[in-house]
Structure 1
Amino acid sequence: MPAPCLRLKRHKRPNKSLADGKQKQKKRPRKIAKSDLGEDVAGNSQSLSMFDEDSVEEGNDNESDLQEHRTVGIVNGDGDSESEDIQEVFDTDQEQELDVKAQTVAKAPVSRSSFHSHLEYKLPETEVEDLLKKKWKYQWDVPAFGMPDCKWVGTGECFLEVANINSDCGLKQRLYKHWLDVCRASGSNDFHSSPQRFFFSLCNSYRDILHCNKKPFYRKGLKEDLAIMDAYIMHCLNHIFRTRDLVTKNDSKLGKHWENAKDNLLSGDEFLDHGFTRPKVLILLPFRSIANRAVNRLIQLTPGAYKVNVEHMSRFSDEFGNHDDEDNVNTNELTGSVKNSNSQKSSKPPDHQALFDGNVDDKFMIGIKFTRKSIKLFSDFYSSDLIVASPLALLKKIEESKRDKEKNVDYLSSIEVLIIDHADVIAMQNWAFLTSVLEKLNCIPSKQHGTDIMRIRKWYLDGHARFYRQTIVLGGYANPDINASFNRQCVNYQGKVKLICQYKGVLPKVSGQVRQIYQRFDADSVAEADNARLDYFVQKVFPKIKDSDEIGGVRNLIIYSLPERKEFFPEVVNMLEGADDMTCTVLFSQFDQLQLERIVGTTSARRMITSEKGVFVLC
C-alpha cells in the first residue's frame, strides 16, 4: 500500500512573514534606450503537495498502446467531476534526457534535466546586483533554421552546438512520444530536423527568447506559426508535468520517512519544490480567437492519458469560439484558415480577414488545471497550472486589487514560464498594458494562500523569482517598446537569445516610376522624437505644399511616419495615380531604424542613418 500523503502543520505566522528580512523591489520607470531601437543605434488552501489528491497518483510509461490512445471524453458540467475507474498514468523523472549545456553559472551533471538545473541554481546576491544593471552582450551566433537571412545570437555559452538531434529533446517520454505521433499524423516524417524541434531546444534552455520575425498565420505563415506554437506549448506542458513529478516524488519520500526523521527531514534544500502559489505558466495573447487556437492545440498535444476528460469544453467553445454571424464567416479556429461564405467579395485584404474574422474580444482570462486524468478549463486561478489571458484583462484584475485588497492577484507571484505571442498585435493594442502586467509578476504575495512555507524555494522568499522566470516573446516585427521590455523587464539569470535578421526591403514591390525622397530629421532622444518630427514637418515640408493649387489626382505622397508593418508601404505608394512626376516624401530619424530597414533594407538603412547627408533620393 502506498504511503499516505501527509500534511505538515503550517506555521501560523502573519502574512507579512513571507517578506520579513527581504529587501523590497523598487519600481523603476521604463526607459527606451538607443539599444532598443536597432542593432546599430547606440485565497485557496493547498495540501502539502500543492496539488489536489487526484493530481498526484504516480505511474510509469510501461503501459499498453491501448491505454495510451484512450478515447477522450468531454465533460460539460460545472463541477469537477472525474472518472475514478481508470488508473493514473504519468511518467517519473527517471527518463533519458537531453543534456543542454547551460551558462557557466548553471553547470549541472549530465543526468540532470534543464528544468532541475535551472530551478535549483543558487543565485548569489552579487549576481543579482549585476543582473539589475547588466548590459547584455551577445557572444555567439548560429544560423536560424529555415531563415537564410537570419541568425540566432545569445549570451553566455552556445548551447545549440551540443544538442543531439536524435534525442528526446529533454521532454518527458510520454510527451515526446505523443508529439512524434502528432507530427507523423500531420505528414511530417522528419521531426528531428523540423522547425518545432529546433525552437523547442531554444525554449528548453530556459533562457529569455525574442523572436520578432515570425510569419503569422494571417500572413500565410500558418505552418511556421503552428510550429512555433507547438514548441512553446510542449515546453509549457513539460514544465508543468515535471513540476508535478518533483512534488509527487518529494511527497512520497516525506510519507515514507516522516515518522523516523521528522525533526531533520525538512532542514535542508531537498524538499524545496514550491512557489508561493500553484500557477507556473502564463500565456499572453491579444484576442479570444487566438486563445481559442492555442488552447485547442494544447489539448491536442496533451497525451491521451492526461485528458480522458476535458471539462467545460462546451463553455469554452461558447465564450472563445467564432460568433461573427454578421459577416457570415466560417473560421477554422485551430488552423487559422478563413473561408468567407459570402458570395460578395470582401473589401478587406486577406490578412485583415484572417486576423479579425473571429472573436476579437481583447478582455479574457482562463485558468487551466491538469489532474490525474483530465484537463479542467475555467479552473480557479489559484488552483490552475496555466493561465491564458490578454494583457487588458490582467491589467483590470490588477487595478481591482488596488481598490479591493481581497481581490488580489497573488496567482501571478510564482510564474516561471511566460509566453507573449503575437507581440506585434499586442503592441498595436497598447503595449503599456503589458509592461504594467510584467511589473506585477513575481512579487511577494499579500497572503499566504495556504502554502507550506517549509516547502517554498529559497529564491522565492528572497524576492528573486523574476530572475528565474523565462520570458519568450514572439511577433512579426520588433519595435522600441518590445526591445525595451525584453532588455529591462526580462532579467533571467540564464541569459538571452534573440533573432537578428538582414532585411532586403520592400521597394521592389513599388510599381510605377515614383521618386522617393527620404528626409532625415534630428532628435536628441526617443521622448523628443515626436515633437522633433512635427517641428520638421511644419518648418520644412508643409510650406511647400500649403499653397499648392493642384486639385487633380494624388501625385505627391507624404509619409509623416514610417509604418511598423513593411507591407503597408508599397500598398500606400502604389495608390498614386499614374503620372511621370509622382513623388513620395518620407520623414525619418535615427530612432526609426527598425521600421526603415524593413522597408529599404538593412544595408541601406544603416547608410541613411549614419550618413552626413540628410536627404536621400531613390527612384
Structure 2
Amino acid sequence: MAPPRGTGAIRGRGRGGVGRRGARGAKRGGFAAARTRDAPPSEPEQSQSEESQASASDDDDDDDGQEAQPTSSAYAALLQSLSAVAQHNHASQEPRRKKRRLGVEEHGPVLPPGHHANADPPRPQNREIGPETRGDRVVALPLEEDVEEAATDGEEVDIEASTDAEKDGCSVFELHFANPDEKELTMRVKRILDNQWSSKMMDVGRGRGVLQLPGTQDIPLDRRKLKSTRDLQLKARLADNAHKAIGAFQEGVEQAIAPSIFGYQDVLFGARTVQNAGRLRDITCLHALNHVLLGRDRVLKNNAKLAAAKDDDDVQYRDQGFTRPKILFLLETKQACVRALDSITKLFDPEQQENKKRFLDSFSITEQKFSDDKPADFRELFEGNDENEFRVGLKLTRKALKLYSTFYNSDIIFASALGLRRAIESGDPKKRDSDFLSSIEMVMMEQADATLMQNWEHAEFVFEHLNLQPKEAHGCDFSRLRPWYSDDQAKYIRQTIIFSAFLTPKINTLYNKHMRNFAGRLKYTPDYTSGLIESLSYGIKQTFLRFDSPSHLTDPDARFKYFSSSMLPYILRFPKPMTGGSGVLLFIPSYLDFVRVRNSLVDTDISYASISEYTDPTDVRKARSHFMNGKHSLLLYTGRAHHFHRYNLRGVKKVVFYGVPENPLFYDEVLGFVAKSVERGEIGRAEGGVRATFSKWEKMELERIVGTKRVGKMVGDKGDVFDFV
C-alpha cells in the first residue's frame, strides 16, 4: 500500500481504468482492478496505463459472452415446466390460487418489539434482465444462467412454495427490506432527521456498547440472543457451511454485535484486532451472502408467478431496486479483497468460479515480505498485495461465482475507497456515473483505521454517492421498484457495518452523518478503564503536558505556538556532545504539522533530520544513520511514516510527542525505542524520558493511553502537567 499523497484532490501514478459500453440504452461500467501509488501533493496526476484498457476490453468480452439476453429455448423450457405445474393443478381440480398482494400478517407472527410491517413480497437483484411484455404488464425475466440451469436440470419452479424468509413471519429480511411498514418508516425517518435518538448502554465483556433507536422512548433490551449460526434465518445452502466455518458465536463481543448485524442495524465496531478479524469477516460475509440469496430467490419466484399469471390477475410485486448491485465491501488492500472472497467462497461453495485465476494473478501475492519482528497488525495489513486502488464486481448464480462482472451486472462490489472514487470521477466530468451505487443495501468497511492513514476524503466521497437517485433508468422495471427507493429513503434502509481498531472524531462523524438506519444503530468500543499505560513496564518517566486550545478549529495554531514557546526550548537545552548527540525523537502525527515544524527549524542552529511518509528510501537510510551516530541531534518522524514502515529507530534517548497518536500501539512502540537504548547501555534509565503535549480536543486519543479513569481529570481539572512512570 502506498502512503497517502495529499489531503484534497486525488493524485497518483499507476494503472486504473473504466471500460464502458452501451446496452439497451443503459450504461454498463466495466471497472478493472488498478495499481496505484499516490504521488506527493506537488506531483501531477499521470495518465493510466494500457493494462486498464485491456481489462476494460476483457469486461466487454465478459459482457458479450456471459450477460446475453435469455435464449428463447431456455425460456421456453421454463414456461413448459410452469405449464406442467398448471396442468397438474387443473387435473387435480384444485382451484388455482389467486395472486395478490400479501400482507405480513398472513405470514405468521408479528415483528419483534419496536418493528412493524405490512405490504408486499420482496426480491433480490435482477438487473441485467430484460423486460418482456405480457398483456399490459411488464415481466422481468430470470437471469440467463438461472433459466438455463433450471431447464438443464429439469427443475421446476414451484410458484406456490414459500422462501425460507416467507415461512418465518419474524424474518428480519421481510420486515426490514421487503415489507417495512410505511407509516412506521416515515415516522422514524422524521425522528432521524430531527436527530431524535433514544440510547441504551450495554456492558459487554471487555467493552461497552451504545444501542440507539430513532425516537425518544425507552429501549427495552429484549433482543434475541444468538448463540450460534443455527439460531439464524439462513438459506439452506448456507446453513451447514456457516456452522462449519463459524459455529457458535463467542461469548462477549460476538454475541453482543451479532443481533445487530443479522438484525439489519448499523454497527460501528471499534475493537477490531488481528485475532478477531477473521471471524468478523466470516460473519459479515455470511450476512451479505444470505441477503443476496434471499432477494435473488424472491425475484425469481415472483418472475415465475408473473409468467404463469393470467392477464386478469391483479398482482404486484415490489421487489427490486434501481440497479442490481446490493452489497459494497470497502477494503483497504487487494490482499484484503482476496481474504473476503475466500470467505464468501467457503460459505457459498459454488460449483464454478469464473475468472478466479485472473483474479488471483492480479490481486494475490503469496510470498512473505516481512520478518516476524514486524508487529502483527502491520503484517496483516501490508502482507501480500498491498496495492490500494482496485475495484471488482462479483456476480452470483445458482452454481457459480463470476468475478470481473460489470458493475451493473454484479451482486457484490469489492473496492477500495480510492479505487471507487477513481472509477466514478474518471472520464468526462459531465458523464460521471455513480448510478451503480444507487441500490446498495449493505456496506461493509473492514479497516476504517487503515483508511484514515490514507485519505479519509475518499471514504467520505463514497458515502456521499451512496443511494442517490440515478440519472438514467439502466433497464429498471419501475412497476417492481420498492416504494422506499422512489421515495428517496434507501439511505435509511441501508445497513452499514464498519470495523476499526479504534474510533476517531472522523469515524464518529461518519457514524452520525451516514449511519442513520431506521432499525437502529450500535456503537461498540473496548474497555479503556486502565488504558495502555498500566501495561507498560519500561520504568521510563512519561510526562503529559496540556496546553490551552479554545477551539478545535484553531487547535493546530495553539499547538504550534505551545511547541515554539515551551517544547523547542526544552529540546535545545540538551547538551550535544561530539559523539552520541542529544538523541531527541520528535513524533508528529500529522503531515501538515510536520511541514510546519520542519520549516520553523530552518533558521535555528539545531542539527536535525526528518522522516515522513514521502521521504525517499535513500534519504531515510541517511537520516537514520546520522541520527544513530549523533550527527543529527533531532529526528522529526511522522505518524504515517511509522504506519507504513514501522521503522526500528536506534539512538533514541528522549521522545517528544507533538500530539497524542491516534493509534495507541504507536505510543508503545515509540516509547520502546528509548527502552531499547537503555537495554543496550547507551543511556541510563534516568536519562531517558518522554514528553507528550495534548489539548482537551484529544480526549479520545488520550483515553486509550492513560485510561478512562484518568482522562477526565487530565482534560478538565486544574493543573497541566501529569507524570507517569
Q: Secondary structure at the match of 1:162?
A: coil
Q: 1:608–1:616: 8 Å Cα contact kept in structure 2?
A: yes
Q: 2:163–2:297: 8 Å Cα contact kept in structure 1?
A: no
Cα distance in 1, alignment partners of residues 201 and 536 from structure 2: 37
Q: Secondary structure at the match of 1:527?
A: coil
**In the alignment, which residue of structure 2 is the partner of 1:575?**
673
**In the alignment, which residue of structure 2 is the partner of 1:114?**
172
Q: 2:440–2:494: 8 Å Cα contact kept in structure 1?
A: yes
Q: CA deviation digits over 1:532-584, x for unaligned, max 9?
A: 21111112222333354334453432111111221221221232243224331
**In the alignment, which residue of structure 1 is the partner of 2:91?**
none
Cα distance in 2, alignment partners of residues 141 and 46 from structure 1: 48
1:301 equivalent to 2:399? Answer no
Cα distance in 2, alignment partners of residues 195 and 315 from structure 1: 37
Counterpart selection for 2:504 from 468, 479, 483: 479
Counterpart selection for 1:321 from 364, 370, 391: 364
1:273 equivalent to 2:325? Answer no
Counterpart selection for 2:330 from 272, 275, 284: 284
Residue identity matched to 1:177: D
1:141 equivalent to 2:191? Answer no
Q: Secondary structure at the match of 2:342?
A: helix
Q: Secondary structure at the match of 2:455?
A: helix
Q: 1:215–1:476: 8 Å Cα contact kept in structure 2?
A: yes
**In the alignment, which residue of structure 2 is the partner of 1:38?**
none
Residue identity matched to 2:502: Y
Q: CA deviation digits over 1:255-289, x for unaligned, max 9?
A: 2324222xx433xxxx1111000011100000001
Q: 2:157–2:301: 8 Å Cα contact kept in structure 1?
A: no
Q: 2:227–2:249: 8 Å Cα contact kept in structure 1?
A: no
1:3 equivalent to 2:82? Answer yes
Q: TM-score, normalised by structure 2?
A: 0.65
**In the alignment, which residue of structure 2 is the partner of 1:151?**
208
Cα distance in 1, alignment partners of residues 374 and 306 from structure 2: 62
Q: Secondary structure at the match of 2:554?
A: helix
Q: 1:517–1:584: 8 Å Cα contact kept in structure 2?
A: yes
Shift, 1:97, TM fit: 8.8
When residues 319 and 452 of structure 1 are mapped into structure 2, their CA distance, relative to the original with a 3 A threshold, is same
Q: CA deviation digits over 1:58-91, x for unaligned, max 9?
A: 99xxxxxxxxxxxxxxxxxxxxxxx955859999
**In the alignment, which residue of structure 2 is the partner of 1:179?**
242
**In the alignment, which residue of structure 2 is the partner of 1:214?**
272
Residue identity matched to 1:52: L
Q: Secondary structure at the match of 2:474?
A: coil
Q: Secondary structure at the match of 1:558?
A: strand
Q: Which piece of structure 1 moves more, 292-301 or 349-358?
A: 349-358
1:423 equivalent to 2:448? Answer yes
Shift, 1:398, TM fit: 2.0
1:251 equivalent to 2:296? Answer no
Shift, 1:591, TM fit: 1.5
Q: TM-score, normalised by structure 1?
A: 0.75
Cα distance in 2, alignment partners of residues 453 and 240 from structure 1: 20
Q: Which piece of structure 1 moves more, 496-505 or 387-396?
A: 496-505
**In the alignment, which residue of structure 2 is the partner of 1:80?**
none
Shift, 1:95, TM fit: 3.3
Cα distance in 1, alignment partners of residues 208 and 666 from structure 2: 25
Cα distance in 1, alignment partners of residues 561 and 553 from structure 2: 14
Q: Which piece of structure 1 moves more, 377-386 or 120-129?
A: 120-129
Q: 2:393–2:407: 8 Å Cα contact kept in structure 1?
A: yes
User: Which runs of 5 or more residues in structure 1 are unaligned?
Assistant: 5-42, 60-82, 99-109, 331-339
1:449 equivalent to 2:474? Answer yes
When residues 192 and 210 of structure 1 are mapped into structure 2, their CA distance, relative to the original with a 3 A threshold, is closer
Q: 1:138–1:153: 8 Å Cα contact kept in structure 2?
A: yes
Shift, 1:446, TM fit: 0.7
When residues 476 and 178 of structure 1 are mapped into structure 2, their CA distance, relative to the original with a 3 A threshold, is same
**In the alignment, which residue of structure 1 is the partner of 2:571?**
545
Question: What are the within-5 Å matches in structure 2 for residues 30-49 of structure 1?
Answer: 46-47=130-131, 48-49=139-140
1:203 equivalent to 2:261? Answer yes
Residue identity matched to 1:155: Q
**In the alignment, which residue of structure 2 is the partner of 1:372?**
398
Shift, 1:452, TM fit: 0.5
Cα distance in 2, alignment partners of residues 171 and 349 from structure 1: 37
**In the alignment, which residue of structure 2 is the partner of 1:71?**
none
Structural RMSD (CA): 3.0
Residue identity matched to 1:534: F
Q: 1:199–1:228: 8 Å Cα contact kept in structure 2?
A: no
Q: 2:394–2:411: 8 Å Cα contact kept in structure 1?
A: yes
**In the alignment, which residue of structure 1 is the partner of 2:145?**
54
Shift, 1:238, TM fit: 0.8
When residues 90 and 242 of structure 1 are mapped into structure 2, their CA distance, relative to the original with a 3 A threshold, is farther
Q: Which piece of structure 1 moves more, 370-379 or 164-173?
A: 164-173
Residue identity matched to 2:232: C
The structure, 1 or 2, with the larger RCO (C-alpha pairs under 8 Å, 6+ apart) is: 1
Shift, 1:355, TM fit: 2.4
Q: Secondary structure at the match of 2:723?
A: strand
Residue identity matched to 1:358: G
Q: 2:225–2:255: 8 Å Cα contact kept in structure 1?
A: no
Shift, 1:348, TM fit: 4.1
Q: Secondary structure at the match of 2:426?
A: helix
Cα distance in 2, alignment partners of residues 140 and 55 from structure 1: 46
Residue identity matched to 1:449: H
Residue identity matched to 2:347: L
Q: 1:58–1:89: 8 Å Cα contact kept in structure 2?
A: no
Q: 2:391–2:414: 8 Å Cα contact kept in structure 1?
A: yes
Cα distance in 1, alignment partners of residues 202 and 417 from structure 2: 32
**In the alignment, which residue of structure 2 is the partner of 1:528?**
554
Cα distance in 2, alignment partners of residues 396 and 171 from structure 1: 36
**In the alignment, which residue of structure 2 is the partner of 1:104?**
none
Q: 2:142–2:303: 8 Å Cα contact kept in structure 1?
A: no
**In the alignment, which residue of structure 2 is the partner of 1:95?**
164
**In the alignment, which residue of structure 2 is the partner of 1:168?**
231
Counterpart selection for 1:383 from 398, 409, 414: 409
Cα distance in 2, alignment partners of residues 543 and 294 from structure 1: 51
1:132 equivalent to 2:193? Answer yes
Q: 1:274–1:456: 8 Å Cα contact kept in structure 2?
A: yes
**In the alignment, which residue of structure 2 is the partner of 1:394?**
420
**In the alignment, which residue of structure 1 is the partner of 2:616?**
none
Residue identity matched to 1:501: P
1:470 equivalent to 2:500? Answer no
Cα distance in 1, alignment partners of residues 381 and 534 from structure 2: 26
When residues 90 and 318 of structure 1 are mapped into structure 2, their CA distance, relative to the original with a 3 A threshold, is farther
When residues 130 and 198 of structure 1 are mapped into structure 2, their CA distance, relative to the original with a 3 A threshold, is closer
Shift, 1:429, TM fit: 1.0
Percent sequence identity over aligned pairs: 30
Cα distance in 1, alignment partners of residues 196 and 673 from structure 2: 44
Cα distance in 2, alignment partners of residues 94 and 85 from structure 1: 20
**In the alignment, which residue of structure 1 is the partner of 2:720?**
614
